[in-house]
Structure 1
């Protein structure tokens, strides 16, 4: 009898642990948000997380350049790679970011920097140093003081 109870308790905890684990994109509401098919089918890792952050923090991404070469197609910042307009649930998503690991990584670098409490100008400086020696940035305005 003790053996059966022990096995049942063990099975319960295994099930509980499995149900509580989250996937790579279940961060900051990425799972709860409805994304277009081009986001859902993207092979780029963490793409939903990047789109969710872009939708919720477009004002930050307005001041972060992109280094994937998208300035040649009219993008002004990394925000342009993910959003056409709007924010939050009203966001209109651009397909560009769904296929670009550089774009996704820049958004995640921004997100991580903000979570660490860094000001936006410091985050931008780190991104510029990381990519600037070998790639060309979009023509993106500097963040205002205090961001």
Structure 2
């Protein structure tokens, strides 16, 4: 029988390849396996963030008192809130370039709903306000926020 007429049977090679991959999964260092598991957990957390803290507008009278204070502080201290990056990941799913846009919607100036449902945004805002109250210069506030929250999404 000529070679081109032979029927190729890839099953043995495929079985060996699958067995090798399964073997690798077992012998991979735990750090590499954990990295894959962490990525899956991060993807789940991102989806949860979108569900819990979507964009849109909100009325301040619907918010808890502390949240209202932080929204008003964001509007009052626009320069500081614009200079600080938000580290919750909202730049990816809401196109927020800075912390101010987590609280104040660009364009119409309405209150942005996202921040009230996001612990990272609220935490950063608390820290910015506290640092402003301490009289810290803006460059130091930025450095402190980057150091504290930078590892969350970068």
Which TM-score band applies after superposition, normalised by the shorter structure? 0.5 to 0.7
Higher-Rg structure is 2
Structure 1 residue 83: deviation in Å? 0.6
In the alignment, is the contact (CA less than 8 A) between 2:103 and 2:114 conserved in 1? yes
The alignment status of 1:83 with 2:104, answered yes or no, reads yes
Structure 1 residue 91: deviation in Å? 4.2
Q: Which has the higher contact order (CA 8 A, sep 6+)?
A: 1
**Corresponding residue to 2:66 among 46, 69, 81:** 46
The DSSP-based 3-state class of the residue aligned with 1:75 is coil
- Backbone CA RMSD of aligned residues: 2.3
The equivalent residue for 2:75 is 55
The DSSP-based 3-state class of the residue aligned with 2:83 is coil
Q: Which has the higher helix share?
A: 2
The equivalent residue for 1:22 is none
**Quick one: structure 1 residues 134 and 91, their matched pair in 2 at CA, closer, same or farther if it must change by over 3 Å?**
closer
The equivalent residue for 1:70 is 90
Structure 1 alignment gaps of length 5 or more:
1-34, 137-147
Compute the TM-score of the two structures, normalised by the length of structure 1: 0.58
The equivalent residue for 1:3 is none
Structure 1 residue 36: deviation in Å? 4.3
Counterpart mapping for 1:1-147 below 5 A: 36-37=58-59, 39-42=60-63, 46-72=66-92, 73-85=94-106, 91-136=109-154
User: d(CA) in 1 for partners of 2:151 and 2:122?
Assistant: 19
The DSSP-based 3-state class of the residue aligned with 2:105 is strand
TM superposition outliers: structure 1 runs of 4+ over 2 Å: 39-43, 133-136
Structure 1 residue 101: deviation in Å? 1.6
